[in-house]
Amino acid sequence: MESNKFAFAGWLAVVQAIIFPIAFVMAIIEQGIAAGLLKIDRPFFGPSDVLMLIFTAIAIYVLLMFKRLLNEHYEYHDLNLLIYISIWWAIMFQVIGLGLGYLMIVLWPVDKVLFAVLYLVFFAGAMVAIGIVDILIAIKLLKIKEHFSELIRAFAYISMGAGICEVSVLLSPLSLVLVPVSAIVLAMIFFRDRHQVEYV
């Protein structure tokens, strides 16, 4: 039996699902330790930032493999551009986010109100942008949903829900809950040895 060449991407998607919540919990713990025990009141880069960089790198690989799966097993190329946009969004989100953090460290003490506004504008703009992309991905997949497996359809519905939350900005924290869920669904898609078209 031919080995599943997408299995490695599946395992990385599982790692992605695990890393994401760990990084958030770690960030909270880091801030608590810094403020409470070490009496550090200035921003800093910690292990959670490294984890998020690893998460982003894995996410990029997983997205590229999902594109490859759609191209090879379903001869579907309509998502290629949107996937590339998602990848560049992930890169820019990390670069700009880390850049703002570095500015705070270098310029400390800073005008906290000014940087709060900058972060808010950056976050809101980023969420609206990726929300639109997620919604478009879902629409394209659901438009011909009979062409895809049930797992890919489930991924489309998750993308739609995440996109709606992201575009609203206020509900964007809810979309964070869907990140590991989406990664697990992608893992299940990759782990299938046969990606046959299912007609319903």
How confident is the model over 158-192, as pLDDT tens digits? Answer: 999 999 999 999 999 899 999 999 999 999 999 98
Mean pLDDT of 54-72: 96
How confident is the model over 96-146, as pLDDT tens digits? Answer: 988 888 888 888 777 778 888 888 999 999 999 999 999 999 999 999 878
Cis preceding-peptide flag for 109 (omega within 30 of 0): yes
Three-class SS of 34-67 = HHHCCCCCCCCCCHHHHHHHHHHHHHHHHHHHHH
* Cα of 48 vs its chain's centroid, Å: 15
